[in-house]
Structure 1
Amino acid sequence: MDAALLAATCDARPGDRVIEAGCGVGGALPGPPRRPPRTPVLGPGSGPARPGERVIEAGCGVGGALLGAASRRPDTRFVGLERDPAAATLARGNVALNGLEARVEIIEGDVEAGFRALDLPLFDAAISNPPFFDDPGALRAPAAEKSGAWMADGGLAAWTVFCLKAVREGGTVTLIHRADRLGDILTLLAPKAGSFRIRPIAPFADAPAKRVIVRAIKTGKAPLVLLPPLVLHEREGAGHTVRAEAILRGETGLGWS
């Protein structure tokens, strides 16, 4: 779900170039390539289309968010970055299955090695679902094949630094993470970025947010904006709210207003 929500916030215009860092192999599904069961969707563009720009997802796993975004932006080119060879292979298969080889490329690389190691041009945006933990003592050790999605060896800082270095001035960095790390995210991004917009994600209308989605603009100077939360469920045991269901089905974007 985090990947779908992250893709639904992306301010990509047709032709934009975006990078997502952080979903690791957590989204990897065993077996042959497949289409995503729910299609994440890019949100409304923030300006006129600029053909020729590109999108890159770093830590793309098997490509669920990447493919959902690409399917809704036919004029945009995408690159998926994944450090796990098995997940990258599945992602390539999913790209082929969805007929997107002309616009979507999967490359192998490690976010923690730094953006410059990729020898790629700057992007218009970076989106990231970083591993949620950087303290091995904070949780029971995950299965080896999922450790990259849960544990960040270089800490959250490695992911924010990567995203900031990946985008041009005026480009956007968007992260989805635990709500209790919001202060850390703002602190890590603030030296190089601003114009923060924050969307809390709450399980219920009367419950604290469990996730936050943070968007920042590199070199941005506008005041921080705290947006209304996205509420996922009406009540315990109920299905998704109408808005959450529409986002997860790819019928609408999350937006930044």
Structure 2
Amino acid sequence: MTALRQDGFLGGRLALWQPVAGYRAGIDAVLLAAATPARAGQGVLELGCGAGVASLCLAARVPGLSLTGVELQPAYAALAGRNAAETGLPLEVVTADLTALPPGVKARSYDHVIMNPPYFRRDCGSAAPDPGRETAMGEATPLADWVAVAARRLRPGGRLIAIQRAERLPELLCAAAAVFGAIELLPLAPRPGRAAKLVLLAARKGRQGPFRLHPPLVLHEGAAHLGDGDSYTAELTDILRHGVALSWPG
């Protein structure tokens, strides 16, 4: 792996190692953690945990969780383990392909499965020059397989929380509807009046309920970026800087 640096998350509450070049988690991972309604004593599995940012942000917000992260790339799995050790947060990291999970993971059922699958189909674009970034961002395992693995690892009534690009929503919904119920979608719009680029999906295993499409969560104030600073809305600032949970509408 290339050189590393520590990045601050949750307003500097967490300092986590990530590669200077290659795949680097950003606000997507923080939003995924914030959208997960976990409670103390519950078990959470993250598929494709990378350097552990989403799981560790969740652990920082909700003490008393049992967290397991599965990561395909050994170098990123090692970073996740290092980040967990240095922060003192309870993340067990397993280096494995999610389609060939080790017996210790397959023997367990979880209350929540969280995931940020690769955004880009490689039959629709070019590969990233950095191998680590390419593996993290370029889909090798079909999106439907990610959803199916999540369903198998969840206990009845357990929740899947996923974040994905809006253009992949038809695939994600099709896969989720085959094995989950009570599906909710929260579009993430960059600015007021702009089309959502990302979506958060929540679904329950073995539960029935109407499909719910929520109004977009707007990330930035104003119609355009006009100066220095990130211009996040007050709600996003609370989530990103202060570790506040994301409130699903309704």
Q: CA RMSD in A?
A: 1.7
* Alpha carbons of structure 1 residues 79 and 241: separation in structure 2 relative to 1, 3 Å: same
Task: Name the structure, 1 or 2, with higher relative contact order (CA <8 Å, separation 6+).
Answer: 1
Letter in structure 1 aligned against 2:92: E
Letter in structure 1 aligned against 2:29: A
Q: Give, in whole Å, the separation in 1 of the partners of 2:86 and 2:219.
A: 30
Contact 2:106 2:153 in 1 (8 A): no
* Alignment partner of 1:9 is 2:1: no
Q: Deviations for 1:184-214, whole angstroms, at most 9, x for unmatched residues?
A: 2121111221101111000011101111101
* Alpha carbons of structure 1 residues 114 and 187: separation in structure 2 relative to 1, 3 Å: farther
Q: How does 1:28-107 map to 2 (within 5 A)?
A: 55-100=44-89, 103-107=90-94
* Alignment partner of 1:120 is 2:146: no
Q: Which residue of 1 aligns with 2:197?
A: 210
Q: Give, in whole Å, the separation in 1 of the partners of 2:170 and 2:127.
A: 25
Q: Give, in whole Å, the separation in 1 of the partners of 2:86 and 2:95.
A: 19
Q: Give, in whole Å, the separation in 2 of the partners of 1:115 and 1:233.
A: 41
Contact 1:109 1:118 in 2 (8 A): no
Contact 2:32 2:114 in 1 (8 A): yes
* Alignment partner of 1:139 is 2:125: yes
* Alignment partner of 1:246 is 2:238: yes
TM-score, structure 1 as length reference:
0.80
Give 1:216 shift: 0.6
Q: Deviations for 1:97-117, whole angstroms, at most 9, x for unmatched residues?
A: 1112xx321111111335868
Identity percentage of aligned residues:
36
Q: Which residue of 2 aligns with 1:173?
A: 160
* Alignment partner of 1:225 is 2:178: no
* Alpha carbons of structure 1 residues 99 and 117: separation in structure 2 relative to 1, 3 Å: closer
Gaps of 5+ in 2: 1-26
* Alpha carbons of structure 1 residues 119 and 61: separation in structure 2 relative to 1, 3 Å: same
* Alignment partner of 1:188 is 2:175: yes
Letter in structure 1 aligned against 2:131: A
* Alpha carbons of structure 1 residues 115 and 6: separation in structure 2 relative to 1, 3 Å: farther
> Residue 68 of structure 1 aligns to a residue in which SS?
helix
Contact 1:58 1:82 in 2 (8 A): yes
Give 1:78 shift: 0.9
> Residue 205 of structure 1 aligns to a residue in which SS?
coil
Gaps of 5+ in 1: 18-54
Q: Which residue of 1 aligns with 2:247?
A: 255
Letter in structure 2 aligned against 1:88: A
The answer to which of 57-66 and 236-245 deviates more is: 236-245
Q: 2:147 aligns with which of 160, 177, 183?
A: 160
Letter in structure 1 aligned against 2:57: G
Contact 1:82 1:107 in 2 (8 A): yes
Q: Give, in whole Å, the separation in 2 of the partners of 1:66 and 1:215.
A: 17
Q: Give, in whole Å, the separation in 2 of the partners of 1:191 and 1:145.
A: 31
The size of the alignment, in residue pairs, is 217
Q: 2:225 aligns with which of 237, 240, 249?
A: 237
Q: Which residue of 2 aligns with 1:28?
A: none
Q: Give, in whole Å, the separation in 2 of the partners of 1:189 and 1:242.
A: 31
* Alpha carbons of structure 1 residues 120 and 132: separation in structure 2 relative to 1, 3 Å: same
> Residue 193 of structure 2 aligns to a residue in which SS?
coil
Q: Give, in whole Å, the separation in 2 of the partners of 1:240 and 1:7.
A: 18
